[in-house]
Amino acid sequence: MAAWRTFTAACLALLLAAVLSACTAPRPGAEGQAPATLAEAGQAVSAFARSVGGVASVDVLYAAPAGGQRGSAAILQGSPRWQATVRLNLLPGTATATAVAAARRVANYVSRWETGFGWVVELNECCAKAVSAKVSETQISEEAGVLRAGTVRYFGDARSLAAVAGVGSVSIDTVGQAAAGVADYTYLPALAAALHDGGFDSSVLKLPGSSVEFRTGGYRPGAGLLALMEQLGTTQPLQSMAVLPDENSAPAAGGGAAPSNFYLLVSAETKEEAQDVEKAILAAELEYVAGDAAVRSYHIPYGEPVDSGYGKPRRDSLSGKLNHATPLPAGDAVPAAPEREPAVVADAPLCAPDQLEWTAQQMPAPSMGFTGMGVFLSNIGMAPCSLDGYPALEFADSDGDAIPVVLAQGFLEARGNAVPVRVVIGAGEQAVAAVQWRTNQVDGYSRLPSTMAVEAVAGTGFTRASEIFVTTNIIDDSEVRLSPWQPADQPLPR
């Protein structure tokens, strides 16, 4: 009987331990717990994103870019290279700053996981005044860790383009290429000009039954060229049109590897249609103005591809030189595309802790024997704010006890130092500061940082302490050296 009681007690103890283990097991994606699978990662980021302001609903879409495979998380689990797109569907009337801040928060949440997964955060706005504006922010990878700076403006740009007459939808991808759905060719000149003025050097316009692509590398599509393209689109049954760089042309005067000359590509269905297009092209006299794309020639493929005898099917085509009333400069004398004036940012108050959120990314240190990281500071507020000078950092161990360190401004190597400047970060944008310290030898008894808080500007107060997910062999009284804040699109000092 005693043996039976002992056996029963042992079984109960095992059962209780199992129950307690199940109840206390970390949830997928919980703070400090990276998800083990793609499915868990999708569930975790979806739950977090639904709690973010301005978000009505969330879709997590899975794909394997290398092979074009698409499907559920379970199907793609074995794929060697895949990505997940987190689509944030916005509430009607959500302000641009709120939308961009939402994307930043989700991106920062995902970047804390060291999963190796590829991520894209996408903002989607549907049906506002019968206009859809959608933009992919940028890819988050194991190398990038955070949203690339500069791309957060895309959603505001998408909304601006959607307001142009005749535009039904706008999408901007992860590398800044714009795609717009357009009602008909009469809206082509105004939209092409808006795309160029907005800084989009690569864009695709989708029209009923046709498309137009511009890859002008910073040059402006000339007014005469746009009028010709509008005429062709409204009078001819075209398959597509494009203004493309002539890869065999000389670079622009003044250096640079980008081609300075372009050609007009017009795709027709039959030889008769191609001949009609050619007649219209040759009848047009184009004016050239400095800063325009130097479009010298045309190419009109037509018919079905046929075997050319060189292993690659080719279409028959008509080709020739465009008719310019104003002579174009010589091929090697085309001036470089004009520099766009940087945006003027209004004066902004110092950033307050409650409008900031940080994330850290491991980075190589400039010297042997040092460890480094970058601290990225996101403005999750509604308005721009400014930073000036150097950050301050506070560390604590897993028990919440402070780890005292000595903060020093500037790096030990002169080439790794940057001059402090005032940095304005708009809503949803980022600034970054480099951090380095001498690598310490640690063991099981060493107190290491578990959380970190950041003071963006001296005297403004620290952000709340958050878990740090990079290797930090910082111990008591370590000297931690800091670079000043910089715009996140500038390289960190090394």
**Using CA atoms, how far apart are residues 350 and 422, in angstroms rounded to an integer?**
10
**Using CA atoms, how far apart are residues 225 and 293, in angstroms rounded to an integer?**
9
pTM above 0.75, yes or no: no
DSSP 3-state of 485: coil
Backbone angles phi, psi at 157, to 5 degrees: -65, -40
pLDDT tens digits, residue range 276-286?
A: 999 999 999 99
Residue pointed to by tokens 């019968």 = 130
- 407 pLDDT more than 90: yes
User: At 484, is the pLDDT very low, low, confident or very high (cuts 50, 70, 90)?
Assistant: very high
pLDDT tens digits, residue range 162-183?
A: 888 888 888 887 667 888 888 8
**Using CA atoms, how far apart are residues 460 and 358, in angstroms rounded to an integer?**
15
Give me the helices (H) in 55-213, please: 73-76, 96-111, 154-162, 188-197
**What pLDDT is attached to residue 153?**
62
pLDDT tens digits, residue range 190-241?
A: 888 888 887 787 888 888 888 999 988 888 888 999 999 999 999 998 889 9
Specify the amino acid at residue 493. P
Instruction: Locate 186 and state its tokens.
Output: 């009469």
Determine how many CB atoms are found less than 10 A away from the CB of residue 142.
13
H or E element in which residue 2 lies: helix 2-24
Residues 325-330, mean pLDDT to the nearest whole number: 79
**What pLDDT is attached to residue 338?**
67
Residues 256-280, mean pLDDT to the nearest whole number: 87
Q: Which of 5-9, 30-34, 207-211, 434-438 has the lowest mean pLDDT?
A: 5-9
Q: How much is the mean pLDDT over the chain? A: 76
Backbone angles phi, psi at 15, to 5 degrees: -65, -45
Residues 288-293, mean pLDDT to the nearest whole number: 87
Q: CA of 64: how far to CAs of 29, 207, 271, 331, 457, in Å?
A: 22, 29, 40, 43, 42
Residues 184-188, mean pLDDT to the nearest whole number: 90
Give me the helices (H) in 181-335, please: 188-197, 223-235, 271-283
**Using CA atoms, how far apart are residues 268 and 226, in angstroms rounded to an integer?**
18
Residues 345-358, mean pLDDT to the nearest whole number: 81
Domains observed in the chain: 43-176 (no CATH), 179-341 (no CATH), 353-487 (2.60.40)
Q: List Cβ neighbours of 130 (8 Å cut-off, separation of 6 or more).
A: 168
**What pLDDT is attached to residue 180?**
87
Instruction: Locate 70 and state its tokens.
Output: 């698409």
Instruction: Locate 257 and state its tokens.
Output: 């590897």
Q: CA of 286: how far to CAs of 189, 235, 321, in Å?
A: 15, 19, 12
**Using CA atoms, how far apart are residues 312 and 305, in angstroms rounded to an integer?**
9
**What pLDDT is attached to residue 19?**
33
- 31 pLDDT more than 60: no
The listed range with the strongest mean pLDDT (15-19, 20-24, 37-41, 343-347) is 37-41
pLDDT tens digits, residue range 69-95?
A: 444 444 444 444 566 788 888 888 887
Strands, E, within 102-249: which ranges? 118-128, 131-140, 167-172, 178-182, 202-207, 210-215, 240-245
DSSP letters for 455-470: ESSTTS-BPPPEE--S
The listed range with the strongest mean pLDDT (94-103, 222-231, 421-430) is 222-231
Q: Which of 96-105, 227-236, 455-464 has the lowest mean pLDDT?
A: 96-105
